[in-house]
Amino acid sequence: MVVLLENPHKSELATFLMQVFITLIVCKILGKILSFIRQPQVIGQIIAGIIFGPTVLGNIPGWSDYIWPKSSLPVFQLIANLGLIFFMFFLGLELNLTEIKANWKTTVPVACSSIIVPVGIGCAVAVWFHELNDGLLVSKAAFMLFIASGFGFSAFPVLATLLNAMNLLNEPIGIQTISLAAVEDIVVWIILAVASAFSSGGSALQGVYTMLYTLAFIIVMVFIIRPIFNRIHAYYLRHDDDCNLYVVVGCFLLLVLGAFTTEMMGIHAFFGAFIAGLCIPRKGELIEFLSLRIELIIVEFFLPLYFANSGLNTRLTLLNTGRIWWTLCVLIILASVAKIVPVTLATRLCTRKPWYYCTSMGILMNTRGIVQLIVLNIGVELNILSPVIFAMFVVMATVLTFSTSPILYLLYRRKHDPTKLEDSNNAQSLQLILEEENNRNDHQDDVPTVELESSLQRHILDDSTKMNNRRKGLYTSVDVRFNTSQSLLHSERYQSRRYSRMTLF
């Protein structure tokens, strides 16, 4: 007799597929609901993970035993960590090194203040928090560096989402914030790698050796592997074939090699994946080709699994005393002050922008979200952070990320000239008009559209003088390639596709 509906626990694959189905459905529903109040999708994923864990549904008898039995957790965690490795590779791909170089005069000083002050305050907080770490026998240096990393990170992908949703991604504030977050994340990931090295146990000398291995790994990847890869890519680029199968497979082999090397060195595999993403050649269409093909499955499939796994380790019920909640409030205030104040003052000194602009930069850099949760989960995996401290930092990351969008709207969007924000959509509207006109001409025996194109070209280029700082060369490329209406539409669609991909976060 054939049994159609067997117990899914008899098959590890069936159990995993059931967990994936529930996770994706709940994350998507919560993400959609929160999108109505201008919140990024990552907030819904964080909340969904907490709901799955012992804080909410874990208290229901039979929930954890049936949906997430202990025997299935290693497989689920392995797939979630694989998603983390691909996400860090994607994050390295998305860092625009050209923009960082172009804005280095303002980016570097502000980045220094945005890193030094929070990391310093984080180290001081770590001394205070050490007694809350439930007696875990870990290196004090590793504990301090992990807490400091939690203070120093800004959520690069979440920032891109918020800026894109408010039509600020191509504004000066958007360009400067993204460049600043990119520099900051590179430095703090290195700090986190050092913390992981110290957490591996052994003497301080072994930790120093691991740090030297890390430095050697970065040097080899940047100054040896990257130039070799660039030469190979340049050969195929000259033949207009820079996205062929061999180059793409080479990129993934570099990802696996980097992740494997850092994991074997005693550092988490995420660091090798991140460095591998930075080493991928920036010329041609390779970055766009890879990003478009791996982003959707990472954001819509792997990250919800990662947050579900994170939620299974989050027990907010441990925050059950007035002292802990008072400590949590102080933690949120300190983390906010450590970010907002130095970024605001440094931006004011370097750019001479109005105070509301500088404060908005500080508010944006105070966004935590996904990156900080990755740091926290790594700390739990390495037995550096106790469940109580982990739960406190999860609440802090959620609160700070949730508050960024409404505060930024009140502080910046209302003070900013609305007409300037509307001007950023003028070109897109003109492209729609042009497309409709071309479609009409297609039904009229292909009447030439040279006059329409010339008129629209002049109109667009006149408007572009107002938006030159925000549209960074878009109209220059349009002017050079404005032979037909389709070239203009292609350029606009390319830009919108590049930035709209970030809204997935």
**What is the arithmetic mean of pLDDT over 32-59?**
87
pLDDT of residue 5: 52
Measured CA to CA, the distance from residue 448 to residue 450 in angstroms comes to 6
Measured CA to CA, the distance from residue 237 to residue 235 in angstroms comes to 5
| Torsion angles phi and psi, residue 443, rounded to 5 | -90, 0
Task: Tell which residue, 303, 310, 332, 306, has the closest CA to residue 385.
Answer: 310
Please report whether residue 373 resides in a domain.
yes
pLDDT higher than threshold 80 for residue 262 = yes
Same domain, 120 and 19: no
Measured CA to CA, the distance from residue 48 to residue 308 in angstroms comes to 7
Give the pLDDT band (50/70/90) at residue 494: very low
Give the CATH number for residue 295: 1.20.1530.20
**What is the arithmetic mean of pLDDT over 429-451?**
51
Radius of gyration of the chain (CA): 24
Count CB atoms within 10 A of the CB of residue 37: 10
Same domain, 138 and 184: yes
pLDDT of residue 187: 78
Please report whether residue 426 resides in a domain.
yes
Same domain, 62 and 84: no
Mean pLDDT of the chain: 77
Tokens of 484: 């037909």
Model pLDDT for residues 405-418, shown as the tens digit of each residue: 888 888 876 666 44
pLDDT of residue 375: 80
Task: Tell which residue, 38, 14, 25, has the closest CA to residue 408.
Answer: 38
Same domain, 56 and 198: no
Decide which of 233 and 488 is more confident: 233
Task: Tell which residue, 133, 80, 20, has the closest CA to residue 392.
Answer: 133
| Backbone φ/ψ region at 167: left (φ over 0), alpha (ψ -120 to 50), beta | left
Decide which of 162 and 146 is more confident: 146
Of all residues in the chain, what percent carry a pLDDT higher than 90?
A: 17
Least confident of 274-288, 311-325, 364-378: 364-378
Q: At what angle do helices 172-199 and 104-129 cross, to 10 degrees?
A: 40
Tokens of 317: 């019920």
Same domain, 59 and 206: no
Distances (CA, A) of 128 to 120, 196, 228: 13, 21, 47
Q: Are 343 and 365 in contact (CB under 8 A)?
A: yes
Decide which of 429 and 328 is more confident: 328
pLDDT of residue 418: 45
pLDDT of residue 441: 53
Same domain, 61 and 97: no
Q: Are 147 and 123 in contact (CB under 8 A)?
A: yes
Same domain, 336 and 380: yes
Distances (CA, A) of 2 to 6, 7, 12, 170, 458: 10, 13, 20, 60, 72
Same domain, 53 and 132: no
Measured CA to CA, the distance from residue 316 to residue 309 in angstroms comes to 15
**What is the arithmetic mean of pLDDT over 230-249?**
87
Model pLDDT for residues 59-90, shown as the tens digit of each residue: 888 888 888 888 888 999 899 889 889 988 98
Model pLDDT for residues 116-136, shown as the tens digit of each residue: 999 899 888 888 887 776 666
pLDDT higher than threshold 90 for residue 19 = yes
- Structural domain ending residue among the three candidates 369, 384, 414: 414
DSSP state of 501: G
Q: At what angle do helices 172-199 and 204-220 cross, to 10 degrees?
A: 140
Decide which of 165 and 242 is more confident: 242
Model pLDDT for residues 179-200, shown as the tens digit of each residue: 888 777 777 777 777 777 676 6
Give the pLDDT band (50/70/90) at residue 455: very low
Same domain, 386 and 347: yes
Same domain, 316 and 359: yes
Decide which of 481 and 298 is more confident: 298
pLDDT of residue 423: 47
Residue 2: strand, helix, or coil? coil
pLDDT of residue 414: 63
Same domain, 13 and 80: no
Measured CA to CA, the distance from residue 442 to residue 109 in angstroms comes to 55
**What is the arithmetic mean of pLDDT over 128-152?**
77
Q: Are 8 and 15 in contact (CB under 8 A)?
A: yes
Q: Are 23 and 48 in contact (CB under 8 A)?
A: yes
Look up the domain containing 465 and give its range: 420-504
pLDDT of residue 224: 94
- Structural domain ending residue among the three candidates 414, 434, 454: 414
H helix runs in 36-139, sequence order: 41-52, 63-67, 73-94, 97-102, 104-129
Decide which of 20 and 167 is more confident: 20
Measured CA to CA, the distance from residue 187 to residue 180 in angstroms comes to 11
DSSP state of 413: I
Please report whether residue 1 resides in a domain.
no
- Structural domain ending residue among the three candidates 67, 94, 110: 67
Number of structural domains the chain divides into: 3
pLDDT of residue 251: 94
Least confident of 6-10, 217-221, 351-355, 378-382: 6-10
Of all residues in the chain, what percent carry a pLDDT higher than 70?
A: 75
**What is the arithmetic mean of pLDDT over 479-491?**
36
Same domain, 81 and 229: yes
The residue to which tokens 């790994």 are assigned: 217
Give the pLDDT band (50/70/90) at residue 462: very low
